[in-house]
Amino acid sequence: MRATGFTCLERAIDSTPILGMSTHGHRKCVTVDYSEQLRRLSIDDEQAAKAPGSHPSELAKTLCLVRIGALVAVSAAAASIHQEIDRAFSAGASAEDIVEVLETVMPIVGRPRVVKAAPKVALALDVDLDLLGDE
């Protein structure tokens, strides 16, 4: 039996076929069958990717924090991490939120990846780690 289910995805209205509209609170949502979204992702359909900046602020903040976790997981370059941290700040995230992401992904991605990412995050947060110390 094929799994079916719907999820409310905030999405810019474009030529993508929509399966329905619903209202949640004060927002109108485009309702997309999650199995259809998975199919689109599986075939690398460009319409499946949601553009940054097209999400309500709380969702945008969450997406930025998830992307930071993903960048840590793949040992991304400092510039990529810095750019996503800037986006997260613009979406309302705090430095504490970003450090919490590092703590949260550590059991999944491993301590070495987080240790490798921490100085990159510190640089983006303009934090001097003083790793050499004055002992």
Radius of gyration over alpha carbons of the chain, in Å? 18
pLDDT in tens, the chain (135 residues): 444 444 444 443 343 444 444 444 555 555 557 787 778 778 877 766 665 445 566 788 999 999 999 999 999 999 999 999 999 999 999 999 999 999 999 999 999 999 999 999 999 999 988 875 655
**What is the pairing mode between strands 20-24 and 6-9?**
unpaired
| Exposed e or buried b per residue across 38-55, where buried means at least 16 C-beta atoms within 10 angstroms of its C-beta | eebeeeeeeebeeeeeeb
pTM: predicted TM-score of the whole model, two decimal places:
0.63
